[in-house]
Chain A
Amino acid sequence: NAGVTQTPKFQVLKTGQSMTLQCAQDMNHEYMSWYRQDPGMGLRLIHYSVGAGITDQGEVPNGYNVSRSTTEDFPLRLLSAAPSQTSVYFCASREDRRYGYTFGSGTRLTVV
């Protein structure tokens, strides 16, 4: 039981490049979310999903796309990377609203 797996752990992108941050969970959780963490700002919600085929925007969705074609996977796509997207990205999942989120170990992204 691996929990929530995020890849890659570290990534450096050039401004304007695109990439996908991968997130997979093996706990059959319906609810998944993406957060970004910047110093002094806590975790800000980017997008979330309450099941396969269902996604919605969080607090800071601009510049990011998501899709949820399976229960297990919830990839986050950066369309055209900008230095303001330099951050630590966390993926999290939970079975339903009765439970707390289980977080992955994060992806540290630097955009130069």
Chain B
Amino acid sequence: GQQVMQIPQYQHVQEGEDFTTYCNSSTTLSNIQWYKQRPGGHPVFLIQLVKSGEVKKQKRLTFQFGEAKKNSSLHITATQTTDVGTYFCAGRTKTSYDKVIFGPGTSLSVIP
């Protein structure tokens, strides 16, 4: 079945450093979504990418969708303590109507 993987599992950075998390799917995706979950909270939707090679930016966050639509990345420039949390990618294949599968997440800690 469809599998979504993410690396790294954990990342500790000094405040001001950059951070990147990578997402890989075992199957071609129709689209990829990214969510952020703060400790003790619920996932919050950040963005959805649909097109092959698509790049989208939200302030210090840059999201990419691979050309083959099987991988994606989230890059945060100059991390802040407010960036702390777990970042999940989630994807749906073309054959599934709305079966959105999440990766295991990357937990980001920011040292002030």
Residues from chain B with a CB closer than 8 A to the CB of A44 are 102
- Is the pair A42, B97 in contact by a Cβ cutoff of 8 Å? no
- Is the pair A100, B45 in contact by a Cβ cutoff of 8 Å? yes
Number of contact residues on B: which range applies? 20 to 34
- Is the pair B99, A45 in contact by a Cβ cutoff of 8 Å? yes
Count of A-B contacts judged by CB separation below 8 Å: 61
Partner among A59, A90, A102, A106 whose Cβ is within 8 Å of the Cβ of B1: A59
- Is the pair B101, A101 in contact by a Cβ cutoff of 8 Å? no
- Is the pair B42, A103 in contact by a Cβ cutoff of 8 Å? yes
B78 at the interface (CB under 8 A from A): no
Interface centre among B31, B45, B88 (most CB of A within 10 A): B45
- Is the pair B100, A41 in contact by a Cβ cutoff of 8 Å? no
Least distance between A63 CB and chain B CB atoms (Å): 18
* Chain B 9-46 interface mask (CB, 8 Å, partner A; 1/0): 10000000000000000000011010100000111111
* Residues B56-112 near A (CB distance < 8 A): 88, 90, 92, 97-105
Least distance between A10 CB and chain B CB atoms (Å): 13
- Chain A positions within 8 Å of B, measured between CB atoms, are 31, 33, 35, 40-45, 48, 50, 56, 58-59, 90, 92, 97-106
- Chain B positions within 8 Å of A, measured between CB atoms, are 1, 6, 9, 30-31, 33, 35, 41-48, 88, 90, 92, 97-105
